[in-house]
Amino acid sequence: MLTRIDHIGIACFDLDKTVEFYRATYGFEVFHSEVNEEQGVREAMLKINDTSDGGASYLQLLEPTREDSTVAKWLAKNGEGVHHIAFGTADVDGDAAEIKDKGVRVLYEEPRRGSMGSRITFLHPKDCHGVLTELVTSAPVESPEH
């Protein structure tokens, strides 16, 4: 079951400048940042709010790390802007299978590694009224060491 907006993915040419815009304009701080080589992105997660399912909602700012990455290709065609939305679920495998049965193309056979150790997959934008849609299961919260 999809229980929250996990994040909105925003493609930008210059991550540092875009992070500074969100900090100076709205007061949002970087919660986490990383490079995901497989996806070809450098990203910053800005946490907006916690959600009642124990998760949270973020803005995900994305800068391409190489010219052949999906985000670089998208930026060349569209310029900066909203690139995808991501719904949070406790069961990305089950939800992706259910959605696939409804005739929507799921882009990965198995979920791949996403931000902060999450497991992610994508639905084809052409099957979702023009919206690239991601499904995310967050990494389990580590229990504290005794």
Interacting residue ranges for ligand V0V, rule: CB under 6 A:
9, 36, 39, 41, 60, 62, 70-71, 73-74, 83-84, 86, 107, 114-115, 118, 120, 122, 124-126, 130, 132, 134
- Residue 43 catalytic? yes
Choosing among Co ion, ligand V0V, none, which partner's interface includes residue 100 (Cβ < 5 to 8 Å by kind)? none
Identify the active-site residue in 39, 63, 83, 84: 84
Choosing among Co ion, ligand V0V, none, which partner's interface includes residue 36 (Cβ < 5 to 8 Å by kind)? ligand V0V
Beta-carbon count within 10 A of 58 CB: 26
Map residue 114 onto helix, strand or coil. coil
Six-digit token string for 76: 């060349």
- Residue 83 catalytic? no
Closest distance to ligand V0V from the beta carbon of 145 (Å): 27
- Residue 124 catalytic? no
Would you tell me which residues interact with Co ion (CB under 5 A)?
Answer: 9, 60, 86, 134
Evaluate whether 12 touches 23 at the Cβ level (below 8 Å). Answer: no
Closest distance to ligand V0V from the beta carbon of 118 (Å): 6
Give the nearer residue to ligand V0V in terms of CB position, either 4 or 84.
Answer: 84
CA distances from 21 to 27, 48, 78, 95, 143 (A): 9, 15, 20, 35, 35
Contacts of 102-110 with CB under 8 Å at 24 or more apart are: 103/127, 104/128
Edge-to-edge strands, sheet with 2-11 = 30-36, 41-50, 56-64, 2-11, 81-89, 133-137, 119-123, 112-113
Closest distance to Co ion from the beta carbon of 108 (Å): 13
Closest distance to Co ion from the beta carbon of 41 (Å): 9
Q: Which residues are catalytic?
A: 7, 43, 60, 84, 134
